[in-house]
Amino acid sequence: MSDPAAAIVRARGVAKSYDSGRIPVLHEVDLTVAAGELVALWGASGSGKSTLLHLLGGLDVPDRGELEVCGLDPRREADRLTLRRRELGFVFQLHHLIPDLTVEENLRVPALAAGRPSRETGLRLRELAAQVGLAHRLSHRIQDLSGGERQRTAICRALMNRPRLLLADEPTGSLDERNGEVVFALLRDLAARHGLTVLLATHERRFAEACHRIIRVRDGRLDEIAA
């Protein structure tokens, strides 16, 4: 179990529904994640994994319950802005990169939003690109990359502003088996190298078992199981 005193993520009694409450998604969820942990949210499609990540990342707000992420409250607009610019990175199943821009231009976007100096940004993006094997692709447009290369670019983008927390929503879900293994291995290695906390939503047990903890998500409820 994670140490509450060192928690970087806390959720207490969090509930979320849609269509004026007619479609319940999360039911009184409690979750604590300690700094430095790699935690899997494991469950089938529609179980509530993505919704929980969206709430923690400030992409949506809960109907009720308490949230604390990196010492901030993602229910509050000012805290959401700080979280996105300074504290967390998000990797999606579909990379959501800008197809007409190059790899380098896509990596500069979050740094520009955070107001980081151009020289510092250039050094950071080249460092990350080298770590994921994309140094030779910086001048290539996203639409010219393979699926695996696009997801590696998305991981770099998520790490550009040196976040403490990485939220990864089915990052291998749109990839073939080989590229999925490559991307997961990169996430795990980069997390260790950069001292990240990672919350990974996945439906694949093999990836969940490679994490420090497995939280099964089923019908909007959480249950920790042995890894």
Sorted by sequence, the CB contacts under 8 Å of residue 60 that are 6+ apart come out as 16, 51, 54
Question: How many degrees, rounded to 5, is the angle at CA 41 between CA 191 and CA 219?
Answer: 165
Does a structural domain hold residue 140? no
Split at pLDDT 50, 70, 90, the class of 31 is: very high
Q: What is the CATH number of the domain that holds 180?
A: 3.40.50.300
Q: Which domain holds residue 84?
A: 4-98+149-225
pLDDT reported for residue 67: 97
How many domains does the chain contain in total?
1
Does a structural domain hold residue 119? no
pLDDT reported for residue 1: 44
Cβ pair 214, 42 in contact under 8 A: yes
Does a structural domain hold residue 120? no
Q: How many CB atoms lie within 10 A of CB 64?
A: 10
Q: What is the pLDDT of residues 123-147, one digit of tens each?
A: 999 999 999 899 999 999 999 999 8
Does a structural domain hold residue 132? no
pTM: 0.91
Q: What is the pLDDT of residues 54-91, one digit of tens each?
A: 999 999 999 999 999 999 999 999 999 899 888 999 99
- Of residues 218, 171, 226, the one with CA closest to residue 198: 171
CA distance 89 to 183: 16
Mean pLDDT of 40-65: 94
| pLDDT surpassing 50 at residue 32 | yes
